[in-house]
Amino acid sequence: MSTSLIILAAGQGTRMQSDMPKVLHRIAHAPLLAHAMHAGAALEPERVIVVAGHGAELVEAAVAEIDKTAQVVIQEDRLGTGHAVLQARDAMKGAEGNAIILYGDTPFIQPETLAAMTEARSRHAVVVLGFEPEDPARYGRLFMDGDSLEAIVEYKDATEAQRAIPLCNSGVICADLRQLFSLLDEVGNDNAAGEYYLTDIVAIARQQGLSCGVVRCDEAETMGVNSRADLAAAEAAFQARKRAEALENGVTLTAPETVHFAWDTWVGRDATVEPFVVFGPGVTVETGAQIRAFSHLEGCHVSTGAQVGPYARLRPGAELANNAKVGNFCEVKNAEIGEGAKVNHLSYIGDASIGEAANIGAGTITCNYDGVFKHRTEVGARAFIGSNTMLVAPVTVGAEALTASGSVITEDVPAGDLALGRSRQANKPGLARKLMDRLRAAKAAKQESK
């Protein structure tokens, strides 16, 4: 049976103290909203509808980046979660099967949990994701009769006895799409908040003789973000989980608590990541690669056996082939470093391709930018680029060619040639000593006249 997602993201998030809508604040480099959408994406949803309100244009732009097929609908007045879901009705016309309602500010719901909910739909018309928090605080309470969910009672409307129920509503609900909207038609706003509560569909379903049930999850999954402190706590929780996952998958982390992953970082088995490595989005590191301390990687691919750092920076489009090496204080951007090639010290390699087994000497710079355009540098296989070579792009150095140290290479170098692009050295016999003597004498004369 197919499933569609309705993601509620209209809230302002006042407590974030931000000009940006709450759901666009990031955890591990992805907006909160993206985390919720990624969890749902595992179900291969037929449709994805995001209900936006506060900062809708910004939310719309973010959604387009996360999932081009997702649609944004606007909730003009925020009259409650039930009202929010109803805004998705037109966009869902013609869709069939399950609807899953998620919150854009609740990033950690696991795909397996959502799958368990769709599975439970074979027994119940409405399935609610429940959890038992350490502190049930102001969550809605799930009123059960045995295994049957009878009603969700909002904290504001609950009696003392109901508030004593430990089982709470996470907010995630799964129901048949058509039934969901027809149940919502029956929901009113005669309650303590004066809102249209999505949660009221449970009691209404029961009145109609429909079965309702609960799937339970860990409190960690339902963690919501309402403040900057929550955001920091959510980031920490994400990092802790990602580190544990990496260790479990056979990655060596010598100081796991110091490594920061992005939401999509992928590190292969038997890779090593040393202390204080930071991953931006879009990084894949293959088996056996070594990422040494204090390196920063983003939008790049590191192949088997390659070595990065310490203190290296790989920027978007850096592509390291097997056994390539990028050493300390090197920056690589939009460049392929061929198999076994070495860029070991103090270099900038941008908009370039470095052939296999080439050696790039210390301090080599690809001068890729003329102030307006970017240009490419090509270095052939087994070429040897002398230390402190400026490769003024566009320029090509052929296979097995050599550039002399300190050269400014402005013309292509044919394969196998030696390029010398520097002025010839002249030695003046004894002149150094003479010069120093003259300067010291001048200094002494100055001090005497004081």
Q: Catalytic residue positions?
A: 345
Interface with ligand UD1 (CB under 6 A), residue from 39, 49, 70, 84? 84
Which residue lies nearer to ligand UD1 by CB, 84 or 391?
84
Please tell me whether residue 140 binds ligand UD1 under the rule CB under 6 A. yes
Which residue lies nearer to ligand UD1 by CB, 168 or 401?
168
Please tell me whether residue 75 binds ligand UD1 under the rule CB under 6 A. yes
Residue 174 near residue 99 (C-beta atoms within 8 A)? yes
Q: Spell out the alpha helix ranges (H) of 298-358.
A: none
Which residue lies nearer to ligand UD1 by CB, 157 or 319?
157
Span of 56-64, 122-130, 165-173, 428-436 interacting with ligand UD1 by CB under 6 A:
165-173
- Angle between helix 111-120 and helix 32-41 axes, rounded to 10 deg: 50
Q: Record the tokens describing residue 88, joined without a space.
A: 């998705």
Please tell me whether residue 10 binds ligand UD1 under the rule CB under 6 A. yes
Please tell me whether residue 265 binds ligand UD1 under the rule CB under 6 A. no
Q: Distance (Å, rounded) from C-alpha 429 to C-alpha 179?
A: 97
Which residue lies nearer to ligand UD1 by CB, 173 or 262?
173
Please tell me whether residue 136 binds ligand UD1 under the rule CB under 6 A. no
Q: What is the 3-state secondary structure (H, E, C) of 386-447?
A: CCCCEEECCEEECCCCEECCCCEECCCECCCCEECCCCCCCCCCCHHHHHHHHHHHHHHHHH
Span of 8-16, 239-247, 287-295, 358-366 interacting with ligand UD1 by CB under 6 A:
8-16
Sign of CA dihedral 156, 162, 166, 171: negative
- Angle between helix 56-66 and helix 32-41 axes, rounded to 10 deg: 40
Site for ligand UD1 in 141-160 (CB under 6 A): 152, 154
Which residue lies nearer to ligand UD1 by CB, 113 or 199?
199
Q: Record the tokens describing residue 251, joined without a space.
A: 């990655």
Please tell me whether residue 169 binds ligand UD1 under the rule CB under 6 A. yes
Which residue lies nearer to ligand UD1 by CB, 224 or 288?
224
Q: Distance (Å, rounded) from C-alpha 15 to C-alpha 27?
A: 17
Site for ligand UD1 in 197-236 (CB under 6 A): 197-199, 224
Number of residues that bind ligand UD1 (CB under 6 A): 27
Nearest in space to 23 (alpha carbons), one of 67, 53, 48: 53
- What's the closest the beta carbon of residue 24 comes to ligand UD1, in angstroms? 12
Residue 156 near residue 197 (C-beta atoms within 8 A)? no
Which residue lies nearer to ligand UD1 by CB, 80 or 213?
80
Please tell me whether residue 11 binds ligand UD1 under the rule CB under 6 A. yes
- What's the closest the beta carbon of residue 147 comes to ligand UD1, in angstroms? 20
Q: Distance (Å, rounded) from C-alpha 397 to C-alpha 412?
A: 6
Burial (Cβ within 10 Å: 0-12, 13-18, ≥19) of residue 274: buried
Please tell me whether residue 168 binds ligand UD1 under the rule CB under 6 A. yes
Report which residue type is found at 50.
V
Please tell me whether residue 8 binds ligand UD1 under the rule CB under 6 A. yes
Please tell me whether residue 178 binds ligand UD1 under the rule CB under 6 A. no
Helix (H, G, I), strand (E, B) or coil at 379: strand
Q: Distance (Å, rounded) from C-alpha 148 to C-alpha 135?
A: 24
- What's the closest the beta carbon of residue 116 comes to ligand UD1, in angstroms? 18
B/e letters for 40-74, b = 16+ CB within 10 Å, e = fewer, are bbebebbbbbbbbbbbbebbeebbeebbeebebbe
Q: Distance (Å, rounded) from C-alpha 293 to C-alpha 281?
A: 18
Q: Distance (Å, rounded) from C-alpha 352 to C-alpha 319?
A: 10
Interface with ligand UD1 (CB under 6 A), residue from 35, 83, 124, 325? 83
Interface with ligand UD1 (CB under 6 A), residue from 20, 58, 79, 408? 79
Interface with ligand UD1 (CB under 6 A), residue from 24, 27, 32, 51? 51
- What's the closest the beta carbon of residue 80 comes to ligand UD1, in angstroms? 5
Span of 73-81, 111-119, 276-284, 329-337 interacting with ligand UD1 by CB under 6 A:
73-81
Site for ligand UD1 in 90-119 (CB under 6 A): 103-105
Chain center to CA of 366: 29
- What's the closest the beta carbon of residue 324 comes to ligand UD1, in angstroms? 45
Site for ligand UD1 in 404-423 (CB under 6 A): none
- What's the closest the beta carbon of residue 75 comes to ligand UD1, in angstroms? 5
- What's the closest the beta carbon of residue 60 comes to ligand UD1, in angstroms? 14
∠214-11-78 over CA atoms, to 5°?
90
Q: Distance (Å, rounded) from C-alpha 412 to C-alpha 420?
A: 12
Residue ranges in contact with ligand UD1 by CB under 6 A: 8-11, 51, 75, 78-81, 83-84, 103-105, 139-140, 152, 154, 168-171, 197-199, 224
